[in-house]
Amino acid sequence: MEAKEITLDGRKYLAYISPDEQSGAHVIIGPHEGLVDSLGLPEPFATTLHNVLYDRRIFNYDDISKRGVAVGIIQELMGLDAQKLVEAYFNFGNELVT
């Protein structure tokens, strides 16, 4: 079996594919099917998160538990740097004080 990218319902997976690709048989390596669905996120947000996990090759607990990985994923997903959010609070707070 060879590991290849497959797409199911817009979600990318790394999977072992049967040598007889016409059979459609595959075994998913990651990200786990249903993982993002277990978070109760709305579509298309859930699929976007799933694909960010795929693109970063976050397939298991060891991958996600490395320092800062989860924060980076959320920042990428939201398209917002955490530092910009902190700066916005700082600037907004200063405008209220003056």
Its pTM surpasses 0.85:
no
pLDDT tens column, 11-37: 999 999 888 766 678 899 999 999 999
User: Confidence band (pLDDT; 50, 70, 90) for 96?
Assistant: low
What share of the chain in percent tops pLDDT 90? 53
Taking the CA of residue 52 as centre, how many other CA atoms within 13 Å lie in the half-sphere pointing to its CB? 19
Residue in the structure block whose two tokens are 């016409």: 22
Please write the tens of the pLDDT for every residue from 30-47.
999 999 999 999 999 999
Distance CA 74, CA 90 (A): 21
Q: What is the spatial distance between Cα 95 and Cα 8, in angstroms, rounded to a whole number?
A: 48
| pLDDT at residue 21, as a whole number | 61
Q: Supply angle C-alpha 61, 65, 69, rounded to 5.
A: 120
Structural domain of 90: 2-97
In this structure, are residues 17 and 43 in contact, taking their beta carbons and an 8 Å threshold? no
Mean pLDDT of 52-66: 94
Provide the number of structural domains found in the chain: 1
